[in-house]
Amino acid sequence: MKLNKFVISIVMLTCSLHVMAGDSLDIQQSKFERRLERSHNAWLSLIPTHFVIQNAGNMGTLSAGIGWSYGKNRKWETELLVGFIPKHDSSRPKVTTTLKGNYIPWRIDLSKITGKIPEDRWKFAPLTASLYLNTVYGHEFWKSQPGRYPDDYYQFMSTKFRLNVALGERIEFKIPESKRRRHSRIALFYEFSTCDLYIRSMFQSSDVKLKDIIGISIGAKFFTN
């Protein structure tokens, strides 16, 4: 959240600079102003467009974070999440962070199917695809093999970083403009995910079935754009 405040304050500062530059009542933008505007827009794009919360997915019991949705028809999303793993039977609870990329190729306007609901209100995404990198913190986990091991002792990259893939679906609700308070859209999603180690185990053993390595997650996203 500190970073968020920092970004917002920088954006506000640059915005105020723009106001001051606007005082010079020149109708035609000068090169400086055009450059400044471009720079404003670049900084503005750093403001997160949504808040996301989800459970499971090999990133903790519960994860929450900020995200940016962008691209044509908002087909792309990038999210930064912090997750929490309870102690369970281990020595202590753990924290994870996740960098997640989502791709939403289609959104179907449900008013075209039922006709009973207003246009553009409910949208259904029949497929979402995600790729995410999870980092778990703790001295038990190493990012690459420590020097005490001979080279290539364990034939996989890291116990700290996990690359995950997920496929899912979501439904989006556009809040009517009169009722908006903090958000403009709300999305509910579920996804099936698995991680690199599990996929590897499936290749190593025919005994490991897809159902053994797939987990389900559910979550919600609150958009401002």
Partner 1 sequence: MKVMKVELFKYTGKITRTIIGGFLVFLLSSCSGFETHPYDVNIKGEKDINAKNMAIIEKEFANKEELRIAFISDTHLWLSDARDQVEDVNRRNVDFVVHCGDLTDTATEKEYEWSRDVLTGLNCPFVALIGNHDFLGTGNQTYEVMYGACDFSFIASRVKFICLNTNAVEYDYLASVPNFDFMEEQFTKDTDKFDRTVIVMHAAPYSDQFNNNVCKAFRRYLDFAPGLMCCIYGHNHNDTVSDIYGDGLMFYAIDCAKNRNYRIMTIKKDSYEIEQIRY
- Residue 79: exposure state from Cβ atoms within 10 A (0-12, 13-18, ≥19): buried
For partner 1, the closer of residues 49 and 134 by Cβ is 134
Please report, for residues 169, 215, 219, the alpha-carbon distance to residue 61 in angstroms, rounded to integers and kept in the order given.
Answer: 20, 12, 12
Binding site for partner 1 (CB under 8 A): 55-61, 85-86, 88-91, 94, 96, 106, 108, 126-127, 134, 136, 138, 140-141, 146, 148-150, 153-154, 156, 159, 162, 167, 169, 192-193, 195, 197-198, 200-201, 204-208, 210-217
Please report, for residues 11, 43, 166, the alpha-carbon distance to residue 59 in angstroms, rounded to integers and kept in the order given.
Answer: 31, 29, 12
CB of 50 to partner 1, least distance (A): 23
Q: Which H or E run includes 131? A: strand 122-136
Q: Please name every residue paired with 81 in a beta bridge, in sequence order, or none if there are none.
A: 65, 98
For partner 1, the closer of residues 33 and 215 by Cβ is 215
For partner 1, the closer of residues 51 and 124 by Cβ is 124
CB of 150 to partner 1, least distance (A): 6
For partner 1, the closer of residues 96 and 102 by Cβ is 96
CB of 18 to partner 1, least distance (A): 43
Chain centroid to CA 113: 29
136 contacts 82 by C-beta, under 8 angstroms: no
For partner 1, the closer of residues 88 and 182 by Cβ is 88
Q: How many CA atoms lie within 13 A of 19 on its CB side?
A: 6
CB of 104 to partner 1, least distance (A): 13
Q: Which H or E run includes 196? A: helix 196-204
CB of 89 to partner 1, least distance (A): 4
For partner 1, the closer of residues 186 and 199 by Cβ is 199
CB of 214 to partner 1, least distance (A): 5
Rounded distance between C-alpha atoms, residue 170 and residue 186, angstroms: 10
